[in-house]
Amino acid sequence: GEQVEQRPPHLSVREGDSAVIICTYTDPNSYYFFWYKQEPGAGLQLLMKVFSSTEINEGQGFTVLLNKKDKQLSLNLTAAHPGDSAVYFCAVSAGQGGRALIFGTGTTVSVSP
């Protein structure tokens, strides 16, 4: 089945710097890709849903890139601020009839002032 590796496991950056998290998946049939943010004691907040047809996706304060050739999905936090401190998870779905989301291992991001 699908395997999703996420790196790095921890990331410490200063406010204003950028931070990049990369996920590598194995199933070439994967079609939907997601980035979630989890703050302490909270559920998952969807940051962005990406379809396999779109390689560059801009959000508020971040960019998501999809490289289908290398089966990689990346989240680039631009100009990080303390509010970005959280655990970030990528998730991948083959997108057929209620298939489950398979999550990456998570990246703990700490942004210091």
Residues that bind another protein (CB under 8 A): 6, 31-32, 34, 36, 41-44, 46, 49, 89, 91, 93, 95-106
C-beta of 113: minimal distance to another protein in Å? Answer: 25
Supply the minimum distance, in Å, between the C-beta of residue 42 and another protein: 6
Residue 70 CB, nearest distance to another protein (Å)?
Answer: 21
Nearer to another protein, 78 or 110 (CB): 110
- 18/7 Cα distance (integer angstroms): 15
In the numeric block, which tokens belong to residue 44? 């998952």
- Nearest to another protein of 18, 105 (CB atom): 105
Q: Do 70 and 22 contact (CB within 8 A), yes or no?
A: no
**54 in the Ramachandran plot: left (φ > 0), alpha (ψ -120 to 50) or beta?**
beta
Cα distance between residue 79 and residue 113, in whole Å: 12
Q: Which is nearer to another protein, 38 or 78 (CB)?
A: 38
Q: Which is nearer to another protein, 34 or 62 (CB)?
A: 34
CB of 26 to another protein, least distance (A): 15
Which residue carries 């999905």 as its tokens?
73
The number of beta carbons lying within 10 Å of the beta carbon of residue 49 is: 15
